[in-house]
Amino acid sequence: MAGELRLSLTGPQAAFVTAEDRFPAIVAGFGSGKTEALVNRLLVRKIAYPGGWVGYYGPTFDLINLIAVPRFEGILEQHGFAFKLNKQEMVMKVRKLGAFVFRTMERPERIIGFETADAGVDELDTLKIAHAEHAWRKIIARNRQKKPNGERNTVAVATTPEGFRFTHRQWVKAKADGYKLFHASTYSNAHNLPEDYIPSLEASYPPQLLKAYLEGQFVNLTSGAIYPDFDRKLNHTPETIKADEPLHIGMDFNVYKMAAVVHVMRDGLPRALAELVNLRDTPAMIEAIKSRYGNAGRSITIYPDASGDNKSSKGASLSDIVMLKGAGFQVSVGHSNPAVKDRIASVNGMILNAKGERRYLVNTDACPITTECIEQQVYDETNGEPDKKSGFDHTNDGLGYFLHRRFPIVVNTLQRLQVVGA
């Protein structure tokens, strides 16, 4: 059937698209063409069984609407199929082939009221393990539409590995019958990517994350030290703050535990050269910053915890961020905090990237608490989240808000790559 569609796929994509296993999964790096492979597989299944419905499940509605639907539309147009999308019901009807139904996994209990003959699940491992398992059980329960020739129903998965989450448990540890695993690296689709795409990943990500996000391998992302590549000698700088030099202060709000890490930019790269820790509240932090650095003419930008827009560490009616602005500081903050894993990835990528560059330096003598926190914060073994019981999180959160804001890891969303042969 793939031959009739004249699909030209990489080796890993072809193996996944044509797999006859009941539950095939392709675990792959960024830009490897895994979503493209998933959509092609679902089209192949749809042509093979035109009377049945085919389900597509994504982690959020935005990802379905902005990425998945355009992919389906592009591939259907490429092969000359007429179709119409009902945006209210999120059902795409294809002439002579039947329908694709799009559903989000945000609330698995809402995956009801329809049946599919085949299905595909995108980015399953972006969900926490319990959530992913709940969604998976719901999806395979809906996948029961009987096929005319008695062939079995299939559910395929395409995901980036996010540590040893549900995909690893179900496809590797459990080794259940019918579960087949395929891996695809970004390199396998390199000829179809911009020339600077892989180098940009190597320059942004720390080495351990590239095994997941470039090579498509399962690696432990939630145990041990959160910042494993920090070295107090190799990441040290003796530099100090100069008079009237612009300051960039990452700040975390906590009553009696206010924390701020003071940075400057040298040759376009950040240097952590001072710290303010264990202050009572936001007014006390404002007073300390002005006392130390508030001389006329100095530019001071604060990169705070975005939740400070909703509550005050002082318990007053004014928000923390409003108080910072009222004190005359520039404030750089998003509508919400970045995802924890994205913030941590940004920090680790600055501490040491896959090219061996250490772009984030700390005056470990002037920032002893910050240095200790970077070295000693670990993941909580019970939930895989950064430990907050030991008190090593406050300065790390503060500097993380700054680094993610100024040096975010941005992976280009390759929405309409034409997958060509390998």
Among residues 33, 26, 29, 19, the alpha carbon closest in space to that of 422 is found at 33
Could you tell me the two tokens for 207?
């080495």
Cα angle vertex 138, ends 56, 113, to 5°? 75
E strand map for 256-405: 258-266, 269-279, 300-304, 330-331, 361-362
**Model confidence pLDDT, tens digit, residues 15-55:** 999 999 999 999 999 999 999 999 999 999 999 998 889 99
Domains of the chain: 2-188 (3.40.50.300), 247-406 (3.30.420.280)
Q: What is the pLDDT of residue 29?
A: 93
What mean pLDDT is reported for the chain?
89
What is the Cα–Cα distance from 408 to 294, expressed in whole angstroms?
28
Mean pLDDT for the stretch of residues 86-110? 94
Question: Quick one: which of 241, 411, 270, 233 has its CA closest to 347?
Answer: 270
Q: 3-state DSSP helix/strand/coil percent for the chain, to nearest 5? A: 35, 20, 45
Sheet holding 23-28, edge to edge: 83-86, 91-94, 98-104, 54-58, 118-122, 154-159, 23-28, 179-184
Q: Using the CB atoms, write b or e for 30-42: b if 16+ within 10 Å.
A: bbbbbbbbbbbbb
* pLDDT value of position 402: 98
pLDDT of residue 2 exceeding 80:
no
pLDDT in tens, 105-120: 999 999 998 999 999 9
What pLDDT was estimated at residue 221? 74
pLDDT of residue 26: 97
Q: Which of 250-264, 296-310, 405-419 has the lowest mean pLDDT?
A: 405-419
Confidence check: pLDDT of 308 > 70 = no
Residues 6+ away with beta carbon under 8 Å from 108: 131, 134, 135, 137, 138
Query: Would you say how long the chain is, in residues?
Result: 422
At 127-177, the pLDDT tens digits run: 999 999 999 999 999 999 999 888 899 999 999 998 888 999 999 988 789
